[in-house]
Structure 1
Amino acid sequence: MKLASYQAQHFLWQLEEAVATITLNRPERKNPLTFESYAELRDLFRALQYAEDVRAVVLCGAGGNFCSGGDVHEIIGPLTQMPMPRLLAFTRMTGDLVKAMRACPQPIVSAVDGVCAGAGAILAMASDIRFGTPQSKTAFLFNRVGLAGCDMGACAMLPRIIGQGRAAELLYTGRVMMGEEGLAWGFFNRLCEPQELLEEARKFARMLAQGPTFAHAMTKKMLHQEWSMGLDEAIEAEAQAQALCMATQDFQRAYRAFVAKKKPVFEGD
């Protein structure tokens, strides 16, 4: 399956050098999500499991902001009028987006500038790598609208990224975490100047795309699956995963390149 000709309906899609860039593109509203964009993102990340021409993904927002979360008028308002079965269908659908992001084999690099709030903060959290700026404003602000902080996997994932106490503070208060604090707490891998952010994220994604993509996919799967494993199970799972990687052509290429004192060219098989 190839996604080079994919036509996005609710965001921008670009594929160059095996790196896909997904741009949330409602800058006049700080790139909020709608019912439709949630669903299309979920379906796209599911499709990425089978994409032959995508080796890494960059997720960003247009107009100097990442994502302001669920649209107040197009999501929050209608939710207040829905019966419980439809509410549960919605919350399961948003959770399915996170599941799809974690299940897709490609590393996801989020480029986070400006507002990164609510479900937008979840999208960043669910990515594998996060680049921010000093102006990044990340807030898990569910409690500010009378909701719990346990949204879309936040109570499971955020403590593993920044620690239990820090996650609890952000989820209980809904306060803003600025870029420097996010870097110090381990939420961001690095900070960039706003004008350099997207290119730095793409540069990093291109580096990943040039690597052994089967092995990268295995690393991502193990990082995810080993959350619920004991140490003995994790060591056995990694033994099996590494044996599979040793059977790839990329492993052979790396060995031959080392012997020849050359840089290996990985092809993902």
Structure 2
Amino acid sequence: MNDDRRPFQAYTARHFQWQCSDDGRVATITLNRPEKKNPLTFDSYAELRDLFLGLQRASDVRAVVITGAGGNFCSGGDVFEIIEPLTRMPAPELLRFTRMTGDLVKAIKRAPQPVIAALDGVCAGAGAMVALAADLRLGTPAARTAFLFTRVGLAGADMGACGLLPRVIGQGRAAELLFSGRAMTADEGAAWGFFNALHAPGELLAEAQAQARALADGPWFAHTMTKTMLNQEWAMGLEEIIESEAQAQAICMLTHDFKRAFDAFAAKQAPKFEGN
């Protein structure tokens, strides 16, 4: 059953940077077009989507950090490489594009690895949606997050924004940001629950990677189950939620990590998890 699994430590990225820890457990994606505040292109959208889909079969990577180079996270879709061509596309091509952007969000959500977004400076448009798709978000006091689709004459409903953002910061706050397109400050993001924590710019990436390392070295199979339940239970009633979690927890009780944790507790030692 493991024939389709493969390591991703040596993955060669074409449209962003990809780095892995020595043991392959923690991967860092860096959007690296700093001269333009790291905008996405058709190619980087597609590669990110395919990478996160592939990570469902990774034999090594257990946590992912995504960040941006040069003091900014991502300014959204590149104005001249995406926005301008979109103004000339017929409807079928436009729909293929919008579905592809949504597929990136779905791929991040479906990846079993916890994904941590480390945000500094500009985080706008599609960049804000990539951050929103992550499981955890760390920022700096300089982070400015804007779902600015209405600023270019489009609906705030893009890449799942109208479904995801209210679940993170609340319906009223999400409505204001999606209608106005204004930037959410770092302090607002921290107070509203968008950010899990704020750090100094020079400490941001190290803090994100340290958190990713803690997750990667923890009960990884159980973490994948937690992520699955967090995503699935949005559409469930209470009866289904409780039954799904009963099944999920019973499966986790069959893992060696569960037995390791008990043995370590009985011996008054810290458990060492292997993710199985």
Answer yes or no: same fold by TM over 0.5: yes
Q: Partner letter of residue 205 of structure 1?
A: A
Q: Partner letter of residue 10 of structure 1?
A: H
State how 1:60-139 maps to structure 2 within 5 Å: 60-139=67-146
Once residues 208 and 7 of structure 1 are traced to their aligned partners in structure 2, the CA distance between those partners, rounded to angstroms, is 24
Q: TM-score, normalised by structure 1?
A: 0.99
Once residues 260 and 223 of structure 1 are traced to their aligned partners in structure 2, the CA distance between those partners, rounded to angstroms, is 33
Spell out, residue by residue over 1:205-253, the C-alpha distance to the aligned partner (whole angstroms, 9 max, x if none): 1011110010000000000000000000000000000010000010010
Once residues 238 and 36 of structure 2 are traced to their aligned partners in structure 1, the CA distance between those partners, rounded to angstroms, is 46
Q: Partner letter of residue 7 of structure 2?
A: K
**Structure 2 gaps, min length 5:** 1-5
- The alignment's C-alpha RMSD in Å is 0.5
Once residues 157 and 266 of structure 2 are traced to their aligned partners in structure 1, the CA distance between those partners, rounded to angstroms, is 51
> How far 1:178 sits from its partner (Å)?
1.0
> How far 1:4 sits from its partner (Å)?
1.0
Once residues 95 and 117 of structure 1 are traced to their aligned partners in structure 2, the CA distance between those partners, rounded to angstroms, is 16
Of 9, 14, 34, which aligns to 1:9?
14
Question: Which residue does 2:188 correspond to in 1?
Answer: 181
SS at match of 1:68: coil
| 1:52 and 2:59 are equivalent in the alignment | yes
Q: Partner letter of residue 216 of structure 2?
A: A
**Structure 1 gaps, min length 5:** none
Q: Partner letter of residue 252 of structure 2?
A: C
Once residues 162 and 250 of structure 2 are traced to their aligned partners in structure 1, the CA distance between those partners, rounded to angstroms, is 33
SS at match of 2:116: strand
Q: TM-score, normalised by structure 2?
A: 0.97
Q: Partner letter of residue 16 of structure 2?
A: F
Once residues 42 and 266 of structure 2 are traced to their aligned partners in structure 1, the CA distance between those partners, rounded to angstroms, is 53
Once residues 154 and 194 of structure 1 are traced to their aligned partners in structure 2, the CA distance between those partners, rounded to angstroms, is 27
Of 158, 161, 166, which aligns to 2:165?
158
Spell out, residue by residue over 1:53-93, the C-alpha distance to the aligned partner (whole angstroms, 9 max, x if none): 10100000000000000000000000000000000000000
Question: Which residue does 1:144 correspond to in 2?
Answer: 151
Question: Which residue does 2:245 correspond to in 1?
Answer: 238
Question: Which residue does 2:265 correspond to in 1?
Answer: 258
User: Percent identity at matched positions?
Assistant: 69
> How far 1:143 sits from its partner (Å)?
0.2
SS at match of 2:179: helix
> How far 1:34 sits from its partner (Å)?
0.1
Question: Which residue does 2:3 correspond to in 1?
Answer: none
Q: Which runs of 4+ in 1 moved over 4 A?
A: none
The count of aligned residue pairs is 269
Once residues 154 and 239 of structure 1 are traced to their aligned partners in structure 2, the CA distance between those partners, rounded to angstroms, is 30
Once residues 7 and 133 of structure 1 are traced to their aligned partners in structure 2, the CA distance between those partners, rounded to angstroms, is 29
Spell out, residue by residue over 1:78-110, the C-alpha distance to the aligned partner (whole angstroms, 9 max, x if none): 000000000000000000000000000000000
Q: Partner letter of residue 50 of structure 2?
A: D
Of 219, 224, 246, which aligns to 2:226?
219
Once residues 220 and 24 of structure 1 are traced to their aligned partners in structure 2, the CA distance between those partners, rounded to angstroms, is 24
> How far 1:126 sits from its partner (Å)?
0.3
| 1:38 and 2:32 are equivalent in the alignment | no
